Amino acid sequence: MQTIEVLRQALSSLDPTQQQQLLVAGSSVAVLLTCYYWVYQGRKTKRIPIGDGWWGAGEKPQSEDEKVFPFQVQTSDEEIQDLYDRIDRTRYTEPLKDTGFQYGFNSTYLKKVVSHWRHQFNWKKQIAILNKYPQFKTNIEGLDVHFIHVRPPHREGQRVLPLMLVHGWPGSVYEFYRILPLLTNSLDSLAFEVICPSIPGYGFSEAPHKQGFDTLAAARVFHKLMERLGFSDYYLQGGDWGAIITTNMAQMKPECVKGLHLNMLTNKMRGFGVLFSILIGRYLPWLVGFTREDVRRLFGSVGFMERNFYDIIRETGYLHIQGTKPDSAGCGVNDSPVGLAAYILEKFSTWTDFNNRDLEDGGLERKFTLDDLLTNIMIYWTTGSIVSSMRFYKENLKTNIDNRLDNHTGVYVPTGLAAFPDEVRHVPQSWARNRFRNIYSYSYMPRGGHFAAFEEPQLLADDLLQFVKKVEKL
């Protein structure tokens, strides 16, 4: 309906020259687009069923233990020595000349990273940093779910609102350590009580023991977590898998979600509306609701197909492996710490900026320190969770994703969208409206890529805050 209104207003404001341009572009397509939207919007439902599940070992008991208990990250000298022994036995392959990161993680630079890991990186020191925020576990649907829970210090007159942050792959809750103080220790009139859960199968959360644990199951588990902590309504923020999980939470129990803020946007790249805007948007952006910035990000200097099709194919080989046979590839990276580092850190290079593929060091240290990157690696290594994290792709892609109910369900809660310029794919607001029906803010972020909280914590925190203030009418 919103798109039809945009078209109606655009058509009514045309001058004769623009009307001629529209005829040349093909006004019949606009008619087809209108018909498509009537049909498409009719398929939308307003919520998805909550359901229930059991992912623990064995049969579900008659009653569940709802105790919440403290947790701290620990290590041992034996664990660290085993890591060193494996690192010392690494067998490297020399890179091809002048390839940068185009073939994957450049082994010349990999040796530098591994040398730092072996001789300078202090895991015990990083554990102390991990443990500076209160951490807990509680059993939900048969799984011990790990989460960080940070309350802000008391400040007279300051409002405190509950907020859940959800990470993705190949990240962890450690991605949020730079943004947490900005959200919880703010001098602003508004602060957040933040809960950061580890997705089951990632890091310190127990991995599912049965098939089928997907984003809908994670959404339900996280709603149960918030309920167990005593929250009846709350804000959500996510990127990567976290964006999909929090979106599912908003679709599942909209009455509990005061607002949804995302830094990764998804949409279906099909249908008359999208096709029409791709064909016309570069030349008549006003007609399809594009801004100049949308045109720059979608088409750039290389064209739409190169940026949004061929580049995506080049960068999604991991997705096809993990969505089909995760255990095969996972066997190698779960056994080799250097293999694990190369596999994960290449994503922190490319997904931060595609131009990093041309650099011998992948541009990794432009946005991150090696200690921060290796801390994330150590979370996967010490918990042995890389295979279970990869299986999450299989569980979400094993059936036709178009048949999933969440792909035919609108999102009606207040929504804030932060579009970072170096995100893997850009989604204009006009496309986002097809799914998100109550957009309060859409921000073109000035810099940053896929790992927004890790790369640009201040930018993300500021955008989240302005969104929440709009919802709260502050």
Residue 32: beta bridge partners? Answer: none
Would strands 234-238 and 190-197 be described as parallel, antiparallel, or unpaired?
A: unpaired
Angstrom distance (rounded) from CA 332 to CA 287 = 51
Question: Which distant-in-sequence residues (6+ apart) come within 8 Å of 450 by Cβ?
Answer: 239, 240, 264, 351, 352, 420, 422, 423, 424
Query: Which element (helix H / strand E) includes 235?
Result: strand 234-238
**Cβ 245 vs Cβ 171: under 8 Å:** no
CA atoms within 13 A on the CB side of 217: 22
> Is the distance from CB of 359 to CB of 429 less than 8 angstroms?
no
**Strand spans (E) along 91-172:** 135-140, 143-150, 159-166
How far is the C-alpha of 458 from the C-alpha of 141, rounded, in Å?
Answer: 35
Q: In what order do the strands lie in the sheet with 257-262?
A: 68-71, 135-140, 143-150, 190-197, 159-166, 234-238, 257-262, 415-419, 439-444
Residue 220 has phi, psi (to 5 degrees) of -65, -45
Task: Count the neighbouring beta carbons within 10 Å of the beta carbon of residue 276.
Answer: 21
Yes or no: say if 190 and 161 are a contact pair by the CB < 8 Å rule. Answer: yes
- The span from the CA of 264 to the CA of 460, in Å, is 12
Q: Can you spell out the DSSP letters for 399-444?
A: S-GGGSGGGGB-B-S-EEEEE-TTSSS---HHHHTTTBS-EEEEEE
416 has which bridge partners?
261, 441
Distance CA(157)–CA(191), nearest Å, equals 11
Listed residue (424, 48, 468) closest to 261, CA to CA: 468
Give me the active site residues, please. Answer: 240, 393, 450
Burial of 207 (0-12, 13-18, 19+ CB in 10 A): buried
Q: DSSP E strands: which ranges in 5-142?
A: 68-71, 135-140
